[in-house]
Structure 1
Amino acid sequence: MNTVWIVLPILLVLMFQLGLELDRKAFAGVVRHPRGVAAGALGQLVVLPLVAFGVALLFRLDALFFMGLMLVACSPGGSSSNVFSMLARGDVALSVTLTALSSLVTLVTIPLIMEAVARFVALRSDAAIELPVGRLLVQNIVLLLLPMACGALFRRRFPARAQRLHALLGRIAFPALMLLAALFFIQYADTILENLPTLGAASLLLILAAMAAGRLLARAFGLDRAGSRTVVIEVGMQNAAQAIAVASSPLIFNNETMAVPAIVYALVMNVVLLLYLKAVQRRDARRAVQ
């Protein structure tokens, strides 16, 4: 069974859910929170791919895993980051703005970066990986832009229903992603377990480096505590479902081995961010006592 037929509906639901959060205020956040948007966008769109490239070189990943890790880093922010930002007492409006902005910008940046990475991988090894840029762009528009637009239109036309539907999808989204990870793990258990030490360590280093970079960027741009937490979460939390969809899609790479880094990243990412959430909640509790 090709897991792409599982990940595609999940990705569509996630992007529709994000669209339900979008209104004029979300994109007005670019004007209201320019420093936060600049810090988050710089971290997500520039720093994270560069860090991932360095990590892939450091761990000497083979061609398919190299491409897979880069796909994760080039993907937009995960929609669950908005929930994590809320639980961490971050700036939820900034989180929504950054997630929406990265989902739009990566329509262009994913093909550009991944084409360059494919050429580098071809030079570095004998593996020639062809990237159909046009089909990738079309797939991203269909899977990212259109469901977001439909969600935003539904919110505008039926605001009360949109609020109820968003709450429902919010409860479904995380379990759906975990189900996808579990099914993928079962189907490719041998490949995942064989490479788990390397990919797990690479994913952990990438996430920690991304979150540290987010913290440094937040400090450099003079963000407050809420903004800083949001940028840390946004830079560290990627849309793994998008990376899996690109890797396993029959229209693009049609290679589920390339999707393995995204699955490992998703599992490690949620553990690390849950620990981060626990840490900031304990810190807030200590401050409240003092």
Structure 2
Amino acid sequence: MKRIFKFVEKYFFIIILLAVAISLVYPKSFEWVLSNYNGINILNLLLSIVLFTMGTTLKADDFINVFKNPKEIAVGISAQYVIMPLIALALASAFSLDSALTVGLVLVGTVPGGTASDVITFLAKGDVALSVSLTAVSTVISPILTPIITLLLISNQINFNPIDMFISIIEIVIIPIILGLILNYKFPEFCERLKDYLPAISSIVICLIVAGVVGANKQAILTSSTIIIVVIVLQYFLAMSLGFGIGYLVGMKKKQIITVAIELAFQNSGLSTSLAKTHFPSLSQATVPGALYSVWQNLAGSILAYVFRRFL
């Protein structure tokens, strides 16, 4: 059984491409992902599972590390919530994206770092402890910063309630993480055994989310694929390049530079998709950038991790 989970973890980028292919050929096979069951939003539930698994891997030491590496944390978090949103807005403007795609792209930029960054950092021989701390901190402060920054960037185009978004992030992100932390505190040995399975579980859930969104927006993706894919690729590589540049300019060591670059480029795209669907229901294509970014960041990240490990 453990081998199966390790296989899923190792070949996640292939599995997510397969899920996307199936959703494009048979879009109805994943339509349940975006539905409700007894009043429960399935998409939000799936995302909460990912964040819960993240919580079970966290300990107090991960937050204490913030004080051990104040410069790296400050630089990483600042870049996360300043550079990524500005990249998104600049690209949306440069490519004249419509309101829906602009909202989706901005949300990709304003959400916290994704949990997959920790795995890619490990594969790239970066500073895993720093990566975990950056992901944890950016996630914990996201209920405040994500709605505020999103409001500042798109309020002139689209009206939305940042308080409702704040509540959504608390429900989807913070509560599951706290529950995971509690479980880890009460049953540390159990959670330690779970670590061999959690990355694969998170990977499967992310595949389902991406497949659901891609299937629901099949026509929109096929008709606007060239532009939005170019934008997504540019957003990713600009973030990675600026992460390297900023880390170098502030005098970080090689491992920390790699970590900040990966952390900046890897976003919680599942959360951006969920927020787009929940708070911008009239803009169905707003979920597309998050889904496509999830596919691309995991595919490109797996390749870059190999490059970093071999040549940096």
Same fold judged by TM-score > 0.5?
yes
Question: 2:114 aligns to what SS in structure 1?
Answer: coil
Tell which deviates more after alignment, 107-116 or 62-71.
107-116
Q: Kindly state the Cα deviation for residue 173 of structure 1 after the two structures are TM-superposed.
A: 1.1
2:77 counterpart (22, 41, 53): 41
In structure 2, the CA distance between the partners of 1:164 and 1:9, relative to structure 1 (3 Å rule), is farther
Question: 1:76 aligns to what SS in structure 2?
Answer: coil
Partner of 2:34: 3
Q: Kindly state the Cα deviation for residue 165 of structure 1 after the two structures are TM-superposed.
A: 2.3
Q: Kindly state the Cα deviation for residue 257 of structure 1 after the two structures are TM-superposed.
A: 1.6
1:275 counterpart (267, 289, 303): 303
After TM superposition, the structure 1 = structure 2 runs for residues 215-230 of structure 1, keeping only pairs within 5 Å, are 215-230=244-259
Tell which deviates more after alignment, 106-115 or 148-157.
106-115
| Counterpart residue identity of residue 98, structure 1 | L
Any unmatched runs of 5+ in structure 1? 122-128, 285-290
Residues 39-58 of structure 1: CA deviation (Å, up to 9, x unaligned): 21121111111111111111
Partner of 1:53: 89
| Counterpart residue identity of residue 136, structure 1 | M
2:64 counterpart (8, 13, 28): 28
Question: 1:120 aligns to what SS in structure 2?
Answer: coil
Q: Kindly state the Cα deviation for residue 213 of structure 1 after the two structures are TM-superposed.
A: 0.9
2: CA distance, partners of 1:226 / 1:10: 32
Partner of 2:209: 180
2: CA distance, partners of 1:143 / 1:176: 14
Question: 1:90 aligns to what SS in structure 2?
Answer: coil
The share of aligned pairs that are identical, in percent, is: 27
Q: Kindly state the Cα deviation for residue 224 of structure 1 after the two structures are TM-superposed.
A: 1.3
1: CA distance, partners of 2:151 / 2:215: 31
Equivalent pair of 1:10/1:241 in contact (CA under 8 Å)? no
| Counterpart residue identity of residue 54, structure 1 | A
2: CA distance, partners of 1:46 / 1:263: 22
Q: Kindly state the Cα deviation for residue 273 of structure 1 after the two structures are TM-superposed.
A: 1.2
1:259 counterpart (287, 293, 296): 287
Equivalent pair of 1:67/1:117 in contact (CA under 8 Å)? no
1:247 counterpart (276, 280, 290): 276
Q: Kindly state the Cα deviation for residue 199 of structure 1 after the two structures are TM-superposed.
A: 0.7
| Counterpart residue identity of residue 242, structure 1 | L
Any unmatched runs of 5+ in structure 2? 1-30, 36-40
1:147 counterpart (169, 176, 182): 176
Residues 168-188 of structure 1: CA deviation (Å, up to 9, x unaligned): 221111132123222322232
| Number of aligned positions between the proteins | 275
Equivalent pair of 2:128/2:259 in contact (CA under 8 Å)? yes
Question: 2:189 aligns to what SS in structure 1?
Answer: helix
| Counterpart residue identity of residue 146, structure 1 | I
Residues 101-149 of structure 1: CA deviation (Å, up to 9, x unaligned): 111222111111222233222xxxxxxx321222211111011111111
Equivalent pair of 1:118/1:131 in contact (CA under 8 Å)? no
Quick check: 1:68 aligned with 2:104?
yes
2: CA distance, partners of 1:35 / 1:108: 22
Partner of 1:189: 218
Q: Kindly state the Cα deviation for residue 278 of structure 1 after the two structures are TM-superposed.
A: 1.8
1: CA distance, partners of 2:248 / 2:226: 33
Residues 223-268 of structure 1: CA deviation (Å, up to 9, x unaligned): 112111111110000001100111112xx22243211111111112
1: CA distance, partners of 2:211 / 2:174: 27
2: CA distance, partners of 1:240 / 1:68: 10
2: CA distance, partners of 1:221 / 1:150: 36
Quick check: 1:166 aligned with 2:179?
no
**Structure 2-normalised TM-score?**
0.84
1: CA distance, partners of 2:248 / 2:34: 40
After TM superposition, the structure 1 = structure 2 runs for residues 131-146 of structure 1, keeping only pairs within 5 Å, are 131-146=160-175
Equivalent pair of 1:21/1:96 in contact (CA under 8 Å)? no
1: CA distance, partners of 2:250 / 2:60: 24
| Counterpart residue identity of residue 87, structure 2 | V
Partner of 2:10: none
2: CA distance, partners of 1:197 / 1:184: 18
Partner of 2:266: 237
Q: Kindly state the Cα deviation for residue 11 of structure 1 after the two structures are TM-superposed.
A: 1.2
Question: 2:141 aligns to what SS in structure 1?
Answer: helix
